[in-house]
Amino acid sequence: MTDLAQFQCIPCRGGEPTLTDEEIARLKPGAPDWVVVEIEGIQRLERLFKFKNFMQALEFTNRVGGLAEEQAHHPAILTEWGKVTVTWWTHKIKGLHRNDFIMAAKTDLLYQPPTS
Long-range CB pairs of 83-87 (<8 Å, 24+ gap) are 83/48, 83/49, 83/50, 83/51, 83/57, 84/48, 84/49, 84/51, 84/57, 84/60, 85/46, 85/47, 85/48, 85/49, 86/46, 86/47, 86/49, 87/37, 87/39, 87/44, 87/45, 87/46
Whether 91 maps to a domain, the answer reads yes
Whether 14 maps to a domain, the answer reads no
**Angle at Cα 44 formed by Cα 73 and Cα 26, nearest 5°?**
95
For residue range 2-24, list pLDDT tens digits in order.
699 988 888 777 788 999 999 99
DSSP states of 6-44: GS------S-PPPPPHHHHHHHGGGSTT-EEEEETTEEE
Does residue 1 register a pLDDT over 60?
no
Domain containing residue 72: CATH number:
3.30.1360.20
User: Mean pLDDT in the chain?
Assistant: 94
Does residue 116 register a pLDDT over 70?
no
For residue range 26-77, list pLDDT tens digits in order.
999 999 999 999 999 999 999 999 999 999 999 999 999 999 999 999 999 9
Whether 79 maps to a domain, the answer reads yes
pLDDT of residue 46: 98
Whether 9 maps to a domain, the answer reads no
Does residue 98 register a pLDDT over 90?
yes
Whether 8 maps to a domain, the answer reads no
pLDDT of residue 2: 60
For residue range 67-89, list pLDDT tens digits in order.
999 999 999 999 999 999 999 99
**Contacts with 7 (C-beta within 8 Å, 6 or more apart), sequence order:** 102
Whether 2 maps to a domain, the answer reads no
- Which range marks the domain in which residue 53 is found? 19-110
Domain count of the fold of the chain: 1
Whether 24 maps to a domain, the answer reads yes
Q: What is the mean pLDDT of residues 95-108?
A: 97
Whether 67 maps to a domain, the answer reads yes
